[in-house]
Amino acid sequence: MAAGKIVLQRLSQYSALWLGSFLVMLGLAAGASLVGKIDIVTVADALLPGAFVLLGAATVVAIVATAVSPAGLGAKSLVTALALLLVLPLLWAPVLAILTVAALDGAVIEYSTAYAGFRIAVSQLIYPLVAQVAEGSMLATAWAGFQVLASIIGFLASAVQVWRVVKGMLAGRLELTEG
């Protein structure tokens, strides 16, 4: 498989996984919290750990599948680097879904153990980078920056995936009308 093809394939899989995990979590959380009237903190603590494990496992599977593929070392290295770079924005997808449901319900999510654990883990990863260029008070800004960046990455990945589906549907419709 050509290097570019495997990288594009993995990026396509990433975008589908980001959008899918966001939509599934959004549906589950909305169903449980808004319809089932279960507290969103309870919902978050029940759903987020499983989502993190599944998304982490999917990332590992993608890396291993690439590592055992006939792709060259450059493609394998690039896919691994991208997977490591994009894993936090991928894990942000279910968190963003929970936060969306909480906002719709007017609820506070900060008491969720899973959400707090995610924030702490991300902060521990971001802090050494921020500490190199700024004071400790910049951690809140770094967290906000992470949220924005992860959301933008997810949105772009999702938009690409949706566009591919729509484009395929339009191409099929054009073939039907021309024939």
* Each residue's pLDDT expressed in tens, for the chain with a length of 179 residues: 577 888 888 988 998 999 999 999 999 999 999 999 999 999 999 999 999 999 999 999 999 999 998 888 988 999 999 999 899 999 999 999 999 999 999 999 999 999 999 999 988 887 776 666 666 566 677 778 888 888 888 888 888 878 887 888 777 765 655 55
Whether the Cβ atoms of residue 95 and residue 118 lie closer than 8 Å to each other: yes
CA dist 45 and 115 (Å) reads 8
pLDDT of residue 135: 61
Q: How far is CA 62 from the centre of its chain?
A: 14
pLDDT of residue 146: 82
Task: Using a cut of 0.95, tell me whether the model's pTM lies above it.
Answer: no
Amino acid identity of residue 169, one-letter, is M
CA dist 46 and 66 (Å) reads 32
Tokens matching residue 8: 């594009």
Mark 132-164 as b/e (b = at least 16 C-beta within 10 Å): eeeeeeeeeebbeebbeebbebbeebbeebeee
Which residues are within 8 A (CB) of 122 and not within 5 positions of it... i.e. 6 or more apart?
88, 143, 146
Helices 73-105, 113-133: inter-axial angle, 10-degree rounding? 120
Whether the Cβ atoms of residue 11 and residue 79 lie closer than 8 Å to each other: no
CA dist 25 and 34 (Å) reads 13
125, containing H or E segment: helix 113-133
pLDDT of residue 173: 65
